[in-house]
Amino acid sequence: MSMSELVQISIVGGSGYTGGELLRLALSHPRLRLAQVISRRLPGKYVYTPHPNLRGVTELKFSHPDDLAPCDILFLCLSHGEAARDIDRYKAIAPKIIDCSSDFRLDNPADYRKWYHEEHPAPEWLGKFMYGLPELYREKLARARYVSGVGCNATVANLALAPLARSGMLERVVADIKVGSSEGGAKPNVGSHHPERSGAVRSFKPTGHRHQAEVMQALGDYFELHFSVTSVELVRGALATAHCFLNESVDEKSIWQLYRNAYSEEAFIRLVKQRTGIHRYPEPKVLAGSNFCDVGFEVDVEGSPRHVVVIAALDNLMKGAAGSAIQSLNVMMGWDETTGLLFPGLHPI
């Protein structure tokens, strides 16, 4: 494929963790040409300055935001609120936009106000962005011009719960999401200071986490959802443990069938439920750097057959952010959905 046939993409906010993952994926994607990577903080510096894993892979340098040129597809990896405030400018830069922030994930301004405790800077744009999770929105993404990123905690919960939610059996869910430190972004804060973060098992958001809104929007609000987030000593990773209370009794065979029917054709969903070994259930550690989401379950046959524990794991920077963004791009362009995304992760790590 000649350079003229490659789709030109640019990344705004390329010095952060999600921007770095997009860089890594774009540089090895066979149908993309990385035109510009924008950073207000590091213009003129090599992109491998904040992303040392890219040393020797590219000699590309960061450009200043004022120098952003037209391209085919623009990725936005900006802090909360920045993309929304300048969306009209970015619309003029590229015909297709994928925003990896939380600015356009919710469709309703009232929901945004409720969960983000502020008015949206560009409420007329809410609803124009398609939620970037292909497993739930593939057909709509294929026709989309504007795509939002996904919350990593929302994604691991959505993929854990979607088959049960679609079955109509869900009555109540109590989900705790355990997350690594990279979820907090590249900018340090008091909570990410090493003596405070190391060894932590810290209840970050027992109630009211904004990613819960994405789950309710994607799966419906007909079941009761309790959602908490706990910080643990990981760099990458999110693990959902969802206690699901159903309106009917089930057995292991019926839940296997439900999840196989839902995910047997999904390239990036793996069902993990083994009888022996140390990796009998999903484990974020083995997913580092991959776009896979592993999903498993256990029916509470000794307690209540209406209680199912669903466990799901992913890399928050990949399937929970940059990986889903590239997967959505592949869907938008009509390419094989797995293009550039088949790295299987590392073990041990």
pLDDT at 151 over 90: yes
- For residue 100, indicate whether it is catalytic: no
pLDDT digit string, tens, across residues 246-289: 999 999 999 999 999 999 999 999 999 998 888 999 999 999 99
Q: Is residue 328 part of a domain?
A: no
**77 and 173: one domain?**
no
Coil/strand/helix, residue 72: coil
Q: Is residue 143 part of a domain?
A: no
Total length of the chain = 349
For residue 29, the domain's CATH number is 3.40.50.720
**122 and 175: one domain?**
no
Kindly name the residue from 71, 152, 244, 293 that is annotated as catalytic: 152
**95 and 179: one domain?**
no
At 286 the pLDDT is: 94
Q: What tokens appear for 128 in the block?
A: 């124009």
Q: Is residue 347 part of a domain?
A: no
Q: Is residue 324 part of a domain?
A: no
**101 and 236: one domain?**
no
**85 and 117: one domain?**
yes
At 1 the pLDDT is: 59
- Average pLDDT estimate for 322-344: 97
At 349 the pLDDT is: 83
**199 and 285: one domain?**
yes
**18 and 71: one domain?**
yes
Cβ(57)–Cβ(48) under 8 Å?
yes
**295 and 160: one domain?**
yes
Rounded to two decimals, what is the model's pTM?
0.96
Q: Dihedral sign, CA of 161, 164, 166, 169?
A: negative
Q: Is residue 286 part of a domain?
A: yes
Cβ(192)–Cβ(181) under 8 Å?
yes
* Domain region containing 159: 152-316
At 188 the pLDDT is: 83
**78 and 160: one domain?**
no
pLDDT band at 37 (very low <50, low <70, confident <90, very high): very high
Characterise 162 by phi-psi region: left (phi > 0), alpha (psi -120 to 50), beta (else): alpha
Q: What is the rounded CA–CA span in Å between residue 142 and residue 145? A: 9
pLDDT at 2 over 70: no
Q: Is residue 322 part of a domain?
A: no
Mode of pairing for the β-strands spanning 238-246 and 170-179: antiparallel
At 193 the pLDDT is: 83
Tally of domains in the chain: 2
At 207 the pLDDT is: 94
pLDDT band at 61 (very low <50, low <70, confident <90, very high): very high
For residue 295, the domain's CATH number is 3.30.360.10
- Where does residue 172 rank: exposed (0-12), middle (13-18), buried (19+ CB within 10 A)? middle
pLDDT at 340 over 80: yes
Q: Is residue 295 part of a domain?
A: yes
Q: Taking all residues of the chain, what is their mean pLDDT, rounded to a whole number? A: 95
